[in-house]
Amino acid sequence: MGAFLMKKVLSIFFVVLILLIGSIAAFNYIKVIKPYDEIYESDPRNKGVEISVHYQNYINPKILVFSVDSIAPSNSMADVFRVLWSYAGKMKSEKFDKVELAYKGNVRFYVSGTHFQNIGMEYGIQNPVYVIRTFPENVYTKDGLRAFNVWTGGVIGVTGKQMEDFNELNKKWYLNDLLKKAD
């Protein structure tokens, strides 16, 4: 009788576990993956930029993980940012504490959920070059430190430094690893 009861308890446990895992997967799919798939499919320039999105550890809806998984040789840093920005536009009504920027699931940086929502609200309205060049000053290291300077001064000098920071952000986020892999 004891072995039968143990098998029944284990069976119930595994059914509950499968239902729980399925619910978590469905929750991620409906809330963050499906909206990503919609923006990805809506623009043919996105082809070749492979991104995965999910809640932190798949269960924390306050933190979104935006992970670059691979990029085709024909794609650029601007393509990755366009995908991020258009996704922010799609998700502008969602509130996150932060959005983690990862490469193959390894978190490198984050932006505040407020900044992600703000650029999402500006999608299709704001000048893309402005959003690109000011993005790095809103990026933080995993430790919560500002990853790049906020530049002041003349517009030409500031713009140059901001674009250098944008390039450096992309290198540290995913590009250096992609280049190592290509060697």
For 158, counting Cβ atoms within 10 Å of its Cβ (0-12 exposed, 13-18 middle, 19+ buried), the class is: middle
How many CA atoms within 13 Å lie on the side-chain side of 125? 7
Rounded to whole angstroms, what are the CA distances from 160 to 107, 155, 163?
27, 8, 5
Residues 6+ apart with CB under 8 A from 85: 119, 120, 123, 128, 131
Is the separation of the CB atoms in 73 and 62 below 8 Å?
A: no
Residue 143, pLDDT above cutoff 90: yes
pLDDT band at 57 (very low <50, low <70, confident <90, very high): very high
Say what the pLDDT of residue 22 is: 85
Say what the pLDDT of residue 27 is: 85
User: Is pLDDT larger for residue 180 or for residue 163?
Assistant: 163
Residue 183, pLDDT above cutoff 80: no
Residue 181, pLDDT above cutoff 80: no
Single out the residue of 117, 164, 116, 157 nearest to residue 140, CA to CA. Answer: 116
Average pLDDT, the chain: 93
Using one digit for the tens of pLDDT, what is the confidence trace for 15-39? Answer: 888 888 888 888 888 999 999 999 9
pLDDT band at 1 (very low <50, low <70, confident <90, very high): low
- For 86, the token pair is 């258009």
Say what the pLDDT of residue 159 is: 95
Q: Phi and psi for 111 in degrees, rounded to 5? A: -120, 155
Report the pLDDT averaged over residues 153-167: 96
Single out the residue of 67, 131, 55, 132 nearest to residue 96, CA to CA. Answer: 55
Strands (E), 72-116: 98-103, 106-112
Say what the pLDDT of residue 128 is: 95
Residue 87, pLDDT above cutoff 80: yes
Percent share of the chain, pLDDT over 70: 98
Residue 167, pLDDT above cutoff 80: yes
Q: How far apart are CA 60 and CA 55, in angstroms?
A: 5
Say what the pLDDT of residue 11 is: 83
Using one digit for the tens of pLDDT, what is the confidence trace for 91-138? Answer: 999 999 999 999 999 999 999 999 999 999 999 999 999 999 999 999
Concatenating the DSSP letter of every residue in 7-61 gives: HHHHHHHHHHHHHHHHHHHHHHIIIIIHHHHHHHHH-GGGTTEEEEEEEETTTEE
Q: How far apart are CA 34 and CA 31, in angstroms?
A: 7
Residue 64, pLDDT above cutoff 70: yes
